[in-house]
Structure 1
C-alpha cells in the first residue's frame, strides 16, 4: 500500500467513524429518551419515556429548569411514586408542578436540588417535602470510612454522556418498544414514576410475597440501627434547609409519609418506636425554631403515619394469590391513589379531623400528645382487625435476620 492510498484509507475510515458518531447522536437526539431536547414528540413513538436509572438528579434538574414549576415535590422513592403533581389537589394552583423525588436519597439530595433551583432563579411558591424517619437513623456500628476515587467527570459531562454513550443508545432503542407496555419502568413528564413495573411485579408474584419480601429486607436493616440517638448533623441540616426555603417566602409543607401499618410494626419490633416519637418531636422543634427566627415563614408538618383506616389496609394472604390492594404496593410504598388523598389533605390544611379519622394530623407542640393518643387508639383497632400482621412481625424478629441487601 502506497503512502497516498494509506492516507485515503485513513481519511475514509475517519469519515465513516465520524458519520457513525453523528448518526448515533442524531438517533438519541430525535428519540430523546430522557426528554431533554424536545425536537420530536410523537404518540406511539417516543411520548412515553423510560425511567431514569442514571443522572437522575441532573436530568430532573434540567426538566425543572425548562418547566419553571410553581410548586415542587421533594423526597425519595415514596414521593416519586406516590405524589402526583397533576393531582386534583393542585387544580387551583397557578402554573405547573414537578416531582423531583429520587429513589434511595436522603434529605441532602433535596437540599442540593432546592439550592440548585434557587441559584438558577427558580423560586417555587410551594415546596412539598417528604421527610423520612429512617434517613435520620445511624448504624449501631459505624461502617468503615470509604475513600471514593474521583469520577473524573467535568461539570456538564453528563450532557455529553446522555447524548453519546452506549447506555443512551440502549435507552433510545428501548423507547419505541415501551409506548404501550403496561409493565415498563417509565417516568411521566411531571417527574412522577407511575410504578407500572411495580404493578406488574405485584400481579406476577402476588401482594403477599411483595409485602413479605419488603418486610424482611426492612427488618434486616432496622436491627442494625442505633436505638439510642440519631445521625450527627441531620437536624441541623434540616434547620438550615428550612431557613433557606423560608428565605424564598415559599409555602413549605413537610409530610411524614403514610407508612403502612406493617412498617410501623417493624419499627416496634426493631426497638425504634421511641426514636420515631422523639424524631417527630424534634422535627416540630426545628420548625418552631425557624418560625421564631423568621416570623413570616410558612411551614407546616403533617403526620400521615399511624394505624388508621388507610394505613391498616389488609395484606392479601398467601392463598389470595390474585387479590390486590387499593392503597399500598407494600409497607414502604403507597400508591398514587393514597398519595392523591395525602396531597388533598396537605393542600387544604384543615385543622378539624377528616370524616375518616385524623389521617393527616397537623403537628405542632400543642398537638404532639394528641397525635400519640390518636396513633395508640388506631393501633388497638388495627390489632383487633389484623392480628396476623402484628404476629408476622413478632415472628420475624424472634429469629436471626439474614443479611439481605437493603434499599430505600
Structure 2
C-alpha cells in the first residue's frame, strides 16, 4: 500500500506538472493535450498571482472581467508599438484588488504603462465599504501576492505560495482538473492565453443557445445584489 501510494503520488505530480491546469507553472502548451485550460475559470486569482511572473512585461491591462475579455493584448495597437502586454483582468474584482495585483507586478518589473478600466459599478455604495474615518491598512493584501499595496513584503507569501503550488501539483482536485483538461480540449472550452487574455470561448456556446440577453440579465441581477 505504501508503494502504491508513492507511485500514485508521483504520477499525480507528474501529470499535474505536465498539464498545468491552472497556469501556475509556466509549462509549455501542447496542442490537443493542455493547450486550452478548461478548469481555469475557478482559479483565475491564484493563476494571475503567479503566471505573470513567467514573462517580462512593460504594459499592464487592469480591470474586471470586461477588460479580461474585451481588450486583447495582441491587438495591433499594442504590437505596432512593440509593447509587451499582460492582461491582468480579474472577474468580479473591485478597484482595490485590481490595483493590488497590478502593483504586485509593478514592484517586481519595470512596467511603463498601465491601462486601468474604471467601472461605475465599482463606485456604488456597498455593504462592505469602510465607514467614514476608518483608517485603511495599506500593508494588507490578498495573502498570495509577494508585495503588499504599499510595496512592503508579504510575510505570508512563502507559506501561501507553498500551499498554492501544493494544490496545483499534489491535490486530487488538480488531478481531476488535469484529466478534464486533457479530455475536453476543444475550441468551445474555457481558457486564458499566455498573456492573461480570456478569449471567451465558453461564452460562444451560451450565446448561440440562449442568446446574449441571458448573459446581460445575469450580470444585472448580480449588480443589483451588490448595491
**TM-score, with length taken from structure 2:** 0.77
Structure 2 residue 152 is the aligned partner of structure 1 residue 165: no
Q: 1:203 to 1:165 in 2, by over 3 A?
A: same
- 1:27-66 counterparts in 2 under 5 A? 27-66=15-54
Q: 1:210 to 1:112 in 2, by over 3 A?
A: closer
The residue matched to 2:121 in structure 1 has which SS? Answer: helix
Q: 1:208 to 1:108 in 2, by over 3 A?
A: closer
Conserved in 2, the CA contact under 8 Å of 1:183 and 1:199?
A: yes
Once the two structures are superposed, residues 5-35 of structure 1 have per-residue CA deviations (whole angstroms, 9 ceiling, x without a partner) of xxxxxxxx22221111111111111122223
Q: RMSD over aligned Cα, in angstroms?
A: 2.7
Distance 2:24 2:217 in 1: 38
Could you tell me how far 1:37 is from its partner in structure 2? Answer: 3.3
Could you tell me how far 1:103 is from its partner in structure 2? Answer: 0.4
Unaligned segments of structure 1, at least 5 residues = 1-12, 226-408
- 1:250-265 counterparts in 2 under 5 A? none
- 1:392-407 counterparts in 2 under 5 A? none
Could you tell me how far 1:125 is from its partner in structure 2? Answer: 1.3
Q: 1:80 to 1:40 in 2, by over 3 A?
A: closer
Distance 1:54 1:161 in 2: 13
- 1:219-258 counterparts in 2 under 5 A? 220-221=224-225, 225=227
The residue matched to 1:131 in structure 2 has which SS? Answer: coil
Pick from 172, 184, 188 the counterpart of residue 183 of structure 1.
188
Pick from 4, 21, 25 the counterpart of residue 9 of structure 2.
21
Q: 1:131 to 1:30 in 2, by over 3 A?
A: same
Could you tell me how far 1:57 is from its partner in structure 2? Answer: 2.9
Distance 1:83 1:51 in 2: 22
State the partner residue of 1:87: 75
The residue matched to 1:186 in structure 2 has which SS? Answer: coil
State the partner residue of 1:243: none
Distance 1:161 1:108 in 2: 26
Could you tell me how far 1:173 is from its partner in structure 2? Answer: 0.6
Conserved in 2, the CA contact under 8 Å of 1:51 and 1:193?
A: no
Distance 1:213 1:111 in 2: 26
> Which moved further from structure 2: 93-102 or 45-54?
45-54
- 1:61-72 counterparts in 2 under 5 A? 61-72=49-60
State the partner residue of 1:201: 206
Conserved in 1, the CA contact under 8 Å of 2:88 and 2:102?
A: no
Count of residues in Structure 1 that have an aligned counterpart in Structure 2: 201
Conserved in 2, the CA contact under 8 Å of 1:106 and 1:132?
A: no
Q: 1:208 to 1:16 in 2, by over 3 A?
A: closer
Conserved in 2, the CA contact under 8 Å of 1:70 and 1:94?
A: no
Q: 1:128 to 1:108 in 2, by over 3 A?
A: same
Unaligned segments of structure 2, at least 5 residues = 131-142, 144-155
Q: 1:161 to 1:37 in 2, by over 3 A?
A: same
Q: Taking CA–CA contacts closer than 8 Å with sequence separation of 6 or more, which of the two structures ends up with the larger relative contact order?
A: 2
Distance 1:55 1:215 in 2: 24
Distance 2:192 2:82 in 1: 23
Could you tell me how far 1:217 is from its partner in structure 2? Answer: 4.5
State the partner residue of 2:84: 96
Distance 1:32 1:64 in 2: 15
**TM-score, with length taken from structure 1:** 0.45
State the partner residue of 1:126: 113
